[in-house]
Amino acid sequence: MTDRHPDGTGLVEPRPLVIRDLLARGRDRLDRLSDGQLLDLLEDAVYHERKRLERVPAPEAELARLDAASRAIVRGERADRQTAAAELVRAWAEEIHGRFDPRVYRFATSILPRGLNALLSSPSRGLLDRTHTPESRIQVEGELAWVRELAAEATVILAPTHVSNMDSPIIGYALFAAGLPPFVYGAGLNLFSNPMIGWWMHRLGAYTVDRTKRAALYKSVLKDYSVRALVTRHHSLFFPGGTRARSGALERHLKKGLLGTGIAAWQEMLAANRPDSEVYVVPCSLSYQLVLEANSLIEDFLAESGKQRFIITDDEFAQPRRIAEFARRVLDLDAAVVVRFGAPLDVLGNPVARDLVDREAQAVDRRRYVTDRDGKVERDEQRDFVYTERLSHALTEAYRRDSYAMTTHVAALAAWRCLVRAHGSSDPFRLLRLPAEGRRIPREAFLAELTRCMERVEVGRVAGQWQADLPGSAEATLAVALDRFGRYHRTRALAVHGSDLVVEDAKLCFYYRNRASHLEGDS
């Protein structure tokens, strides 16, 4: 039995029970493998772990497990290989599993509005300035009542866009502000390196995801953890894009691994004849006026040219002073961040009915896609992959529809279009190498281009293609954008030089332009 949290989410469970269940799932998978498949899986795990440990120091216990696995590969029988693989599963399950504490969660949510007010207030204002509350800086909107209703009757996966490492605390506040229950979520192992932050994150529902681990066996443990969380009615949050969008653009290609655990959990609950078997996926779009790590992200995108590292360990988020500075200067703005909860989807990628009677009819119909004539669930990995592809496509459409075109995005887009027109090239690397004089834009030419961009934004907003809340004129939009660009970054994406404008930092301009690239069909 699951030890249920009073809110019904099932977040409180004895740790040994969770580990034992994950180990049982792992052993069941290993039992289904042929001797050759088992050997391949173990060899893959040892190879990738040895490569990883060339770059990071390893505890003795970890090295001992790899040595045992190596011996089982070379001299062992099937039973030895299964035991070695199971030990890896056990160790990774211990590492991944969070330590949710309802007392910590209640305490954190009780002080969250006041704490955010302290974080987001300028030193001159004091803690209780009612005119600049978290509600005015972090705008939470969308299908809130609908999502609350679904969370009470089924299991919900929240699938946000991933812009910044600020996303996790921002979404944590948004869930609280929306009146939603706790969600478990995966967070990069590097974010737990600070003992105090790690302690809080674990107890607020986070589990660890080590993106440096490439072994297929590790990924299967991670998926098992997600499936188990959903089956035990833990509402879950994960970023389908995998990592922060380096270029700044909206996600177009989502990772199917964790996203596919939704359909796996749904089928597992169907097979058990659970009355609460439904799993719904809620897209969530985050729109920022400015992004803390914009410099590091765009540098990484350009340097790697499509071969991004899985993790950046030395960016602005790793520097507490930079976070505090960013919070004071940027989140001090009204609607500095918009978190929008989109229309829910089922795990097959279909829209969910608002009316309960219609939802129940949909649920009956949906089961036909994964069961035989007798209603027995039929497992089919290829079929489920196709369904997850459909879900992925539906999510990317929702991200585009629910994301906001902000003043910084549209101004950067207009500036970049001016550079493209002036130099007759859309090659970003050529434009990024332009000298300062080549990045000057006559003010009238810029305002004309900005007007065209704003007209395009308004047409799309009215058609429901995206969200926008821009000032009424190009002059007003430019004034707001210039103020925003001067708030935090040491160099500005766009600035005034005499009677002209200049793209002061071309990389930053390119980053913020990319956030609006879908407005002109580039995403």
C-alpha of 7 from chain center:
25
pLDDT at 18: 87
SS3 342: coil
CA dihedral 167, 169, 170, 175 (to 10 degrees): 120
Assess contact for 478 and 484: CB atoms under 8 A. Answer: no
φ and ψ at residue 2, rounded to 5 degrees: -85, 130
Asked if the model's pLDDT at residue 372 lies above 80, the reply is yes
pLDDT band at residue 200 using 50, 70 and 90 as cut-offs = low
**CA-CA distance, 78 to 81, in Å (whole number)?**
5
pLDDT at 173: 84
CA dihedral 186, 187, 193, 197 (to 10 degrees): -90
Token pair in block for residue 108: 């954190």
Token pair in block for residue 146: 């609908």
Residue ranges with strand state E in 124-170: 138-142, 155-160
Token pair in block for residue 402: 């629910």
pLDDT at 129: 41
Please indicate whether residue 173 or residue 493 has the higher confidence score (pLDDT): 493
User: What average pLDDT score do residues 389-400 get?
Assistant: 96
Assess contact for 282 and 342: CB atoms under 8 A. Answer: yes
pLDDT at 3: 37
pLDDT band at residue 520 using 50, 70 and 90 as cut-offs = confident
Phi-psi region of 185 (alpha: psi -120 to 50; beta: other; left: phi over 0): beta
pLDDT at 421: 95
pLDDT at 258: 87
The overall average pLDDT reported for the chain is 85
- Which of 93-97, 184-188, 211-215 has the least mean pLDDT? 184-188
SS3 347: coil
Asked if the model's pLDDT at residue 345 lies above 50, the reply is yes
pLDDT at 134: 56
pLDDT at 305: 61
- Farthest-apart Cα atoms in the chain, separation: 79
In the numeric block, the tokens 């004089």 are attached to: 437
CA dihedral 365, 369, 375, 376 (to 10 degrees): -150
User: What average pLDDT score do residues 84-105 get?
Assistant: 81
pLDDT band at residue 51 using 50, 70 and 90 as cut-offs = very high
User: What average pLDDT score do residues 169-185 get?
Assistant: 86
Assess contact for 230 and 207: CB atoms under 8 A. Answer: no
pLDDT at 2: 37
Domain spans of the chain, in order of start? 15-93, 102-183+235-402, 405-520
- Of the chain, the end-to-end C-alpha distance in Å amounts to 46
Residue ranges with strand state E in 387-446: 404-405, 440-442
**CA-CA distance, 520 to 523, in Å (whole number)?**
8
User: What average pLDDT score do residues 390-405 get?
Assistant: 96
What whole-number percentage of the chain has pLDDT above 70? 80
Name every residue whose Cβ is closer than 8 Å to that of residue 240 and which is 6 or more positions away in sequence: 159, 251, 254, 255, 258, 259, 392, 395
pLDDT at 110: 61
What does DSSP assign to residue 131?
T
**CA-CA distance, 104 to 204, in Å (whole number)?**
7
What whole-number percentage of the chain has pLDDT above 90? 61
pLDDT band at residue 104 using 50, 70 and 90 as cut-offs = low
What does DSSP assign to residue 261?
H
Token pair in block for residue 507: 């990389």
pLDDT at 191: 64
Asked if the model's pLDDT at residue 518 lies above 80, the reply is yes
Distances (CA, A) of 238 to 96, 161, 282, 348: 14, 9, 11, 17
Using alpha carbons only, give the angle 244, 246, 250 rounded to the nearest 5 degrees: 75
pLDDT band at residue 124 using 50, 70 and 90 as cut-offs = very low
User: What average pLDDT score do residues 275-282 get?
Assistant: 95
pLDDT at 184: 85
Residues present in the chain in total: 523
User: What average pLDDT score do residues 381-396 get?
Assistant: 96
Cβ atoms < 10 Å from Cβ of 19: 16
pLDDT at 211: 83
User: What average pLDDT score do residues 96-119 get?
Assistant: 60
In the numeric block, the tokens 């600035």 are attached to: 495
Name every residue whose Cβ is closer than 8 Å to that of residue 42 and which is 6 or more positions away in sequence: 69, 72, 73, 81, 84, 85, 217
pLDDT at 111: 58
Cβ atoms < 10 Å from Cβ of 244: 25
pLDDT at 71: 96
SS3 361: helix
Exposure on the CB side of residue 224, measured as CA atoms within 13 A = 26
Please indicate whether residue 122 or residue 435 has the higher confidence score (pLDDT): 435
Q: Which of 281, 314, 321 is nearest to 300 (CA)?
A: 314
Q: Which residues of 189-221 are buried (b: 16+ CB within 10 A; e: fewer)?
A: bbbbeeeeebeebbbbbbbbbbebbbbebbebb
**CA-CA distance, 301 to 513, in Å (whole number)?**
14
pLDDT in tens, 180-193: 988 888 777 666 66
Cβ atoms < 10 Å from Cβ of 381: 9
Token pair in block for residue 347: 């795990």
pLDDT at 41: 96
pLDDT band at residue 327 using 50, 70 and 90 as cut-offs = low
pLDDT in tens, 13-24: 677 888 999 999
pLDDT at 206: 72
pLDDT at 132: 47
Asked if the model's pLDDT at residue 119 lies above 50, the reply is no
Please indicate whether residue 67 or residue 318 has the higher confidence score (pLDDT): 67
Residue 18, H or E segment: helix 15-31
